[in-house]
A and B are shown apart, each in its own frame.
Chain A
Amino acid sequence: MRNPTGGYAVNPLFTVEVVISNKPQARDPEGETIIRDLIHKSGLQAVKEVRTGKLLSLKIEAADPDDARNTAVSMCNDLRIYNPVAHSITVRVRP
């Protein structure tokens, strides 16, 4: 699409971070192993819980931050990049 000055309009690039984590009801054996076998065995008792997850760092062309967020969320849902039964996602958009 041409913009009024004759150049091509290019949407800005947003960095969208999607954090996939186990739902609170789902046991997280990896987190349990980290806290039990590494942290607590080393004597560090102040740490009370570890929950593991996965980070997707996406670069998305979008009109605005909301557009970028919507693209990321619908993509993750439609393609089942995470499993909505067992996992939840939180989404952060960086300019």
Chain B
Amino acid sequence: MRVAVIEFPGSNCDRDTVHVLKESLRIDANLVWHNDFKDGSYDAVILPGGFSFGDHLRAGIIAAHSPATKAVIQMASDGKPVLGICNGFQILIEAGLLPGALLRNAGLKFVCKWTALKVEANNSAFTCTFKKDTKIRMPIAHNEGRYFADDELLDALSAAGQIVMKYDEENPTGTARGIVGVSNEKGNVVGMMPHPERASDSALGGTDGLKVFESMVEWAKC
């Protein structure tokens, strides 16, 4: 499978993501500058973390209006796997591909640390190789990661299995119901605040993130 990792001005961990895909998992992955990204030649796409367009107005909103994201929306509607990591999650929310909102952390601080997480749903393109309720560890690093939706929407997402990942112990950002990752209805579009690419090598402190990318490969086979 061919995977694109889209680089916006201000993206980070984009190269780390490509490194994990190519070197650890032997996946054909390309780093693609956002203006050069076109739908059609890739089987999956990943929007990396960072601060696209300097987080102007709101994190993710400028990138959500970009032509690259229009192509991502097309891939999403074609059922291809689409992952947004951290700022990528914020972009997918602002593009309307995922429900809810990501607001400033309750402590008004940038939080950067390893976190204990639980896989809530394994019916998505990026969690399908996990067993449900698996406890994993991945780092977070963000200022706007407090997931918000009203109770009605949270209940509906929960019932539909669209809440894919939660904090397991501490909730360092005040996010609603501990939510750190959600999917769309079909499960092919997933956004998560934790960084799987930073948890894909034992030299960096953990390898739980590898399964996120391995899930994408398995999902694409179905």
A80 and B64 contact, Cβ closer than 8 Å, known pairs A85-B148, A85-B149:
yes
* Binary CB contact string for chain A from 65 to 91 against chain B (1 if under 8 A, 0 otherwise): 000000000000001110101100000
- Asked if A83 contacts B58 (CB within 8 A), the reply is yes
Chain B interface residue count, Cβ-Cβ cutoff 8 angstroms: 22
Return chain B residues, CB-CB under 8 Å to A86. 101, 103, 148
Interface class of chain B by DSSP: loop
B interface with A by C-beta (< 8 Å): 57-58, 61, 64-65, 94, 99-101, 103-108, 146, 148-151, 153, 174
Contact mask A19-32 → B, CB, 8 Å, 1/0? 00011011101100
Given A80-B61, A83-B58, A85-B149, A33:B101 Cβ within 8 A: no
Tally of A-B Cβ pairs under 8 angstroms: 37
List chain A residues, Cβ under 8 A from B104. Answer: 29-30
CB atoms of A29 and B106 under 8 A apart: yes
**A25 x B108 contact (CB < 8 A):** no
Task: Specify which chain B residues have a CB less than 8 angstroms from the CB of A23 in the assembled complex.
Answer: 150
Interface residues of A, Cβ cutoff 8 Å to B: 22-23, 25-27, 29-30, 33, 79-81, 83, 85-86
User: Which residues of A have CB within 8 Å of B57?
Assistant: 81
- In the docked arrangement, what's the CA distance between A81 and B103, Å? 15
Does the CB pair A85–B101 fall under 8 Å? yes
Q: Which of B64, B100, B108 contacts A29 (CB 8 A)?
A: B108
Q: Is the interface of A mostly helix, strand, loop or mixed?
A: loop
Q: Could you write out 21 A-B pairs with CB less than 8 Å apart?
A: A25-B151, A26-B101, A26-B148, A27-B103, A27-B106, A27-B146, A29-B106, A29-B107, A30-B104, A30-B108, A33-B108, A80-B61, A81-B57, A83-B94, A83-B101, A85-B99, A85-B100, A85-B101, A85-B148, A85-B149, A86-B148
**Interface contact B94-A80, CB-CB below 8 Å:** yes
Identify the closest chain B residue to A26 (Cβ): B148
Chain A: minimal CB distance from B168 (Å)? 22
